[in-house]
Structure 1
Amino acid sequence: MPKCFIDPSAALIFGAILSILLVTALATRFENAAWQAKVDEFRQFKGHADIVMFGDSLTASGHWQEMFPKLSIINRGISGERVGSALLRLDQITAAQPRLVFIMLGINDIRRSTSPDDVAASYGKIINRLADVESIVVQSTLLTNSEVHNAAIKRLNSALIALCSKAANCRFVDLNVPLSRDGSLRPDLTTDGIHLNGAGYRVWENQLRPMMAAVSAER
């Protein structure tokens, strides 16, 4: 009876692949559970606000009410958020009956190799479903310290500009002008090449201040 020989190197590679798949599956399960927990939390706490901040971890980490204490602001950012899953929770925006909505999404989609065109298509659905909101500000997806990601981010932002030009209540704001240098996120404004530090949030705050002041003046 012929003997069966297993190449040790092949066994190691197979084991490594299984380990990666297991870790990825566990991480995805945890991410989905954390997302659902946050969605459930937001739906328990409903209230009206002048402004809703909507997006991923970049939005979630912002101390918006402290930046603009004279306005009522609800933060509806969730870490790891993608455009497709954001579509599932737009009720968190409309329930607040805001006059102004700031949106920033896209980086988590790009990092998972979703094409800029597909991200923009989902973004367009968000804008369409918020047609009754008085004003939407789509903020540029921020550049990172990765050239590969930045090429896709630039394509996405170009598509977002085109989307906003077709919606009467939508305005595009390019935050990459003050936050980036030489085509990448400024190293003095980031903690890891993606997320902002305190100084980065101050730059962001200053870019939003004129729009926030307009809402405050109309109250």
Structure 2
Amino acid sequence: MNRFCKKNVRWILGVSLFFNILLAGVVCFYEIRTHNVQEMLTVLGWCNMDEKQRSGHYFIVDWAACVKKLNYKADVAFFGNSITANSNFQNYFTDIKIAEFGLHGDRVDGMIRRLPMLQSVNPDKIFVMAGINDLHRSSPETIVERYDKLLTLIHDSLPNAKIYVQSILPVNRVKEKLYASNDVIKETNVLIEECAKKHNCKFIDLNSVYIENGVLPDSLSFDGVHLTQPAYGRWAKVIKPYIYE
């Protein structure tokens, strides 16, 4: 290699090293400010993260404190992920006060962090649905360990509330392949039911209400996972006796 080529190689390596150091500095600064990398590693189970450093922690706490000051008392609360978020059970049960705490993409751990929201309305009854998003990267056994913690914390923080645990709904993997198979969902629901019984919670099997020919049918879902608005009528019919008992 001639002197000119060697000089160019050294220059390229020097520039590359400079930009790599600069990039590493930007990433470190961003992580110090946001903790997004640490939060991702915590979700994957590779490290533990102080709860107060998690994104949204103070939003949840402050939001719950604000609602609590309003002295809003809910008769019934629904607690879950996007399937709960897309519902509007107040339309089905107009004579009672309902609070819905669904969050798109939420997992059981996320619901544990959102407990202050649930506590802020001090509901008499709580309908819980969780687990479908956890199945992206966790086993049924791991999910139920988290579920056990969730139910324990709800009992401890809202001892007078009656808790109803609802099964994970079926999916249609022809439309949406990212979610677990219905066989895995069925296995998880068995474990969730056992967990519910352990905590003296009523288990409500919604899976069998929606599954047809082994899948969630197109007529009840717009994407293979989430329900159409009319499909919530089946859900409301199943839980009506528990709403008014």
TM range (shorter): 0.7 to 0.9
Pairing 1:96-107 to 2, within 5 Å after superposition: 96-107=121-132
Q: Distance in 2 between matches of 1:199 and 1:183?
A: 21
What is the CA-CA distance between 1:40 and the residue it aligns to?
Answer: 6.2
* Residue among 154, 162, 170 paired with 2:186: 154
Decide whether the 8 Å contact of 1:99 with 1:134 is kept in 2: yes
**Separation in 1, partners of 2:63, 2:184:** 31
- Cα distance in structure 2, aligned partners of 1:76 and 1:68: 16
Moved more, 83-92 or 136-145: 83-92
Aligned with residue 141 of structure 1, among 137, 148, 168: 168
Paired-residue identity, %: 30
The amino acid that maps onto 1:113 is R
Determine the structure 2 residue equivalent to 1:86. Answer: 111
| Structure 1 counterpart of 2:242 | 211
Per-residue CA distance 1:76-130 (angstroms, 9 max, x = gap):
11111100111112122223221110011111111x2211111111011111112
Match 1:197 to one of 225, 228, 241: 228
Query: Mind listing any 5+ residue stretches in structure 1 that lack a counterpart?
Result: 4-24, 215-219
Contact 2:74 2:98 in 1 (8 A): yes
Residue in 1 that maps onto 2:67: 45
After superposition, the CA RMSD in angstroms is 2.6
Tell me the distance in 1 between the aligned counterparts of 2:97 and 2:142.
Answer: 33
Whether the aligned pair in 1 keeps the contact of 2:134 and 2:143 (CA below 8 Å) is: yes
Amino acid at match of 1:118: T
Q: Which residue is 1:57 aligned to?
A: 82
- Higher mean C-alpha deviation, range 41-50 or range 199-208: 41-50
Distance across 2 between alignment mates of 1:92 and 1:124 = 19
TM normalised by structure 2 equals 0.69
Aligned with 1:172: secondary structure?
Answer: strand
1:165 aligns with 2:194: no
Deviation at 1:180, TM superposition (A): 0.9
Give the Cα–Cα distance (whole angstroms) in 1 for the partners of residues 59 and 83 of structure 2. Answer: 15
Q: Which residue of structure 2 lines up, in the alignment, with residue 11 of structure 1?
A: none
Helix, strand or coil at the partner of 1:184: coil
Q: Give the Cα separation in 2 of the matches to 1:166 and 1:102.
A: 17
Q: Equivalent residue of 1:74, what SS?
A: strand
**AA matched with 2:163:** I
Letter in 1 for 2:169: L
| Structure of larger gyration radius | 2
Offset at residue 61 of structure 1 (A): 1.1
Instruction: Kindly state the Cα deviation for residue 136 of structure 1 after the two structures are TM-superposed.
Output: 0.6
SS at match of 1:45: helix
TM-score (norm 1): 0.76
4+ runs deviating over 4 angstroms: 35-38
Q: 1:92 to 1:117 in 2, by over 3 A?
A: same
Q: 1:180 aligns with which of 202, 206, 211?
A: 211
Gaps of 5+ in 2: 6-35, 41-53
CA distance in 1 between counterparts of 2:78 and 2:168 reads 14
- Cα distance in 1 for partners of 2:169, 2:110 equals 19
Number of matched pairs: 187
- Aligned pair in 2 of structure 1 residues 197, 166: CA closer, same or farther (>3 Å)? same
